[in-house]
Amino acid sequence: MAKKFHRDVWVGTVLLILCIAVFFTAVQIPGQASYLPITLSLLMGLCSVFIILKGLRLTKEQDGDFHYSMTIKSSKYAFLFMFFIFIYFLGFRYITYWIATPIFMLLSMKYLKLKSWKVNIVITVLYTLICYVVFVIILHLPIYKVGILGQLFRYI
């Protein structure tokens, strides 16, 4: 009889395979640009190993008697939020970061039921201003090149 493993074993295994693929891709990057992706893939791989070990421990403790309370039907809000993130990606890509991000932040905080609209607006405005100052004015990154409305936010 085939032994049933806890789903953490399978999730950790898939993540570990992904980390290995990212690692071998990152190794091919020339120069110092490879340091960050290599380090991140190694750290993610380490986390994947811990997930696998936790899953193996749970497999042994529960002896194949797993009860997963989460179903696709009960996870509809998570899938809806993933759809919001996809829409944000499209907005980021086609309109520009500086418009898509505040809209996404305001809508996601509303969706996550943040109580105070004042706090929501203050956080969004401060985040956008700080990012603009740091990335565009101080670091001179050409973020304006992303999206069709990006030229409106060109500083340099």
**Residue pair 111/81 in contact by the 8 Å Cβ criterion:** yes
The reply to whether 99 falls in a domain is yes
In this structure, are 41 and 106 located in the same domain? no
Q: Domain ends where: 42, 62, 82?
A: 62
Question: What pLDDT score does 1 carry?
Answer: 41
Distance CA 12, CA 10 (A): 5
Domain boundary among 62, 83, 100: 62
Which structural domain, as residue segments, surrounds residue 80?
73-153
Residue 88 and residue 126 in one domain: yes
pTM value is 0.56
Pair (54, 94) in one structural domain: no
Question: What gap in Å lies between CA 73 and CA 121, rounded to an integer?
Answer: 32
| pLDDT tens, per residue, the chain with 156 residues | 456 777 888 888 999 999 999 999 999 988 888 888 899 999 999 999 999 999 888 888 877 666 665 666 767 787 888 888 899 888 877 888 888 889 999 988 888 887 788 888 999 999 988 988 888 788 887 776 666 666 666 655
**How far, in Å, CA of 75 to CA of 83, rounded?**
13
